[in-house]
A and B are shown apart, each in its own frame.
Chain A
Amino acid sequence: MIGTIGVKTINGINNIGRYGRFLWQSMNVSLRSCLDKLSYPLIATQMYIIGVRSVPVVMITGAFVGMTLAVQAYDQLAGMGLEEHLGVLINISVVKELGPVLAAVMLAGRVGGALTAELGTMNVTEQIDAVRSMGTDPIKYLVAPRILACLLLTPFLIIFAVLMGIIGGYFVSVIQLDINSRAYWSFSAAGVELWDVSIGVIKGFFFGVAIAAISCYKGFTCKEGAQGVGQACTEAFVASFISILALDFALAVVFKSIYNTFWPIRSLV
């Protein structure tokens, strides 16, 4: 019993160490790839696969988030006669929290799963060894373009999700629930600041790197066989999901203290 706990702890710490090293190497190589013209085509390909093709799913996610929020929150606010404030509630939740997080979760499933499965299969069929045997760094060729593509495009995808969330919320509130459009927008505009929008977008950079780095790492360390690849994909998704939530929490704390430092009064009002 104690032995098992010990072994599990040591394995866990080993794993964290290996992941840390992988992350450090990947960040180094990614930074250098930014200056290397030869890697631009690779990044562009990944941007198309990762970014462009995720737009529809991310937009659908965002739209449903906005619409659901409107339906759920209307009754409570209408009970107090505050239904015209619905816009603030929907838009601030979508812009700051739900849009970015749910879009990132969607990407963790769509992009992360594909990355892990692809790199895992390459690992199992010795293609990663083949890259190394030809004198190329697999992190430079395989990992860096994927991380950079995720880093650059997740914020944009979040913007799409948020935009659709706002439109979805507006659609249900104004057209279906008959809230005065002018009031809806003016309360929203008063409640949502540039700061809130920036937070949502900045989160995207962190989520993007987390998703790509975890998925690539799991692909690189994948065990043999179909079961190994499947297990790696599951682990990658779970780990990405948890990191997204953890990062979200950490960033919320950080941004709040930054906000309080710069605008100490406004947060009290």
Chain B
Amino acid sequence: MIEQNRKNQNGILEVRHLTKKFGSKLVLDNVSLSIEKGKTTVVIGASGCGKTVFIKHLIVLLRPSSGEVYFNNKRIDNLDEKELNKIRTHYGFLFQGGALFDSLSVSENIIFPIRQHFKNPDWRQVEELVKSKLAMVGLDGFQNYYPADLSGGQRKRVALARAIALNPEIILYDEPTTGLDPIRSDIINELILKLQRELGVTTIAVTHNMASAYKVGDRIIMLHNGKIIADGDSEHIRNHPHPVVQQFINGQVGEDDLAVLRMSGSISQAQFLPRDFE
């Protein structure tokens, strides 16, 4: 009932009966969801369960096979690219690997969206802006570095600075902490919280890192086989009765996976030893 009420309030983004097929493979199966303005929503799920596909539908980088996507109560999944480009300026998207343009320096990367949408920007102001965005992610002074000179965590932070360059209303994070050590992951988590506090943006993050999900998420949604199987705050998820949810949040391997491992035989049978080659 509470969830039902929530669905009808303040939905800045809404998907209705979203289904996505790649060939004959069903990736998203009739997903309906409304995302509240100003809140952080975290989508969790096993690798390959369709999280990234889902988040890309929110900005219509992928088009649904059936179903609808709404932004501020306006349907956007059927718009042409030109109209979508206007809508997309309200979004910031942090890609899994950062997706920085490697031929451009850090500052040029951050200027990119500004250059695309403002004909004659005041360059001194733009420089200030780059400085402030980089300061926000703790990387002021790296303006002239190239993406190849940065570590994985730094690249993600620069990508985040680029994503917030146009002061978006919505920031989408695709696996923001994947591939980072626990401390760097936590830096990213703190950044997500900071941006939400300071800019008041709506945040949607896709992750399979539970520590991160609990820390940043006002609401956690779990996808499994293309369907939503759990939806609520972190307390709700922790006590969720569904076995797949419990298995996922506790990081336990399932009984059927264990059975496969047992079936595949012992190590000495399965691999060659150095003496076999003598």
CB-contact partner of B61 in A125, A127, A133, A141, under 8 A: A133
Residue B86 is within 8 A (CB to CB) of chain A in the complex = yes
Contact A135 B99, beta carbon cutoff 8 Å: no
Residue B264 is within 8 A (CB to CB) of chain A in the complex = no
Contact A135 B117, beta carbon cutoff 8 Å: yes
Contact A133 B116, beta carbon cutoff 8 Å: no
Residue B59 is within 8 A (CB to CB) of chain A in the complex = yes
Residue B248 is within 8 A (CB to CB) of chain A in the complex = no
Number of A-B contacts (CB under 8 A): 58
Known contacts A125-B97, A126-B97, A129-B95; decide if A135 and B116 are in contact (CB<8 Å).
yes
Residue A132 is within 8 A (CB to CB) of chain B in the complex = yes
Q: How many residues of A contact B (CB 8 A)?
A: 14
Contact A125 B99, beta carbon cutoff 8 Å: yes
For the complex, what is the distance from the CA of A125 to the CA of B95, rounded to whole Å?
Answer: 9
For the complex, what is the distance from the CA of A129 to the CA of B113, rounded to whole Å?
Answer: 13
Residue B37 is within 8 A (CB to CB) of chain A in the complex = no
Among B74-129, those with CB < 8 Å from A are 81-82, 84-89, 91, 93, 95-97, 99-102, 112-113, 115-117, 119
Residue B56 is within 8 A (CB to CB) of chain A in the complex = yes
For the complex, what is the distance from the CA of A127 to the CA of B100, rounded to whole Å?
Answer: 7
CB neighbours (8 Å) of A137 from chain B are 81-82, 85
Among A116-154, those with CB < 8 Å from B are 122, 125-127, 129-130, 132-137, 141
Contact A132 B101, beta carbon cutoff 8 Å: no
Of B84, B100, B101, B117, chain A has the most CB atoms within 10 Å of the CB of B101
Contact A38 B119, beta carbon cutoff 8 Å: yes
Chain A interface helix/strand/loop/mixed: helix
Taking the nearest CB of chain A, how far is it from the CB of B41, in angstroms?
Answer: 18
Interface residues on B, range: 20 to 34
Contact A127 B101, beta carbon cutoff 8 Å: yes
What is the chain B residue whose CB lies nearest that of A45?
Answer: B103
Among A133-177, those with CB < 8 Å from B are 133-137, 141
CB neighbours (8 Å) of A135 from chain B are 84-89, 113, 116-117
For the complex, what is the distance from the CA of A120 to the CA of B139, rounded to whole Å?
Answer: 29
What is the chain B residue whose CB lies nearest that of A132?
Answer: B61
Contact B95 A126, beta carbon cutoff 8 Å: yes
For the complex, what is the distance from the CA of A126 to the CA of B61, rounded to whole Å?
Answer: 11
For the complex, what is the distance from the CA of A129 to the CA of B88, rounded to whole Å?
Answer: 12
Contact A126 B81, beta carbon cutoff 8 Å: no
Taking the nearest CB of chain A, how far is it from the CB of B133, in angstroms?
Answer: 14
Sorted nearest first, the 3 A-B pairs with minimum C-beta distance are A130-B99, A133-B93, A135-B88
Please list the residues of chain B having a beta carbon within 8 angstroms of any beta carbon in chain A.
56, 59, 61, 81-82, 84-89, 91, 93, 95-97, 99-102, 112-113, 115-117, 119, 162, 166
Known: A125-B99, A129-B56, A133-B95. 15 other contacts (CB 8 A): A38-B119, A127-B102, A129-B61, A130-B99, A130-B101, A132-B88, A133-B93, A134-B88, A134-B116, A134-B166, A135-B88, A135-B113, A135-B117, A137-B81, A137-B85
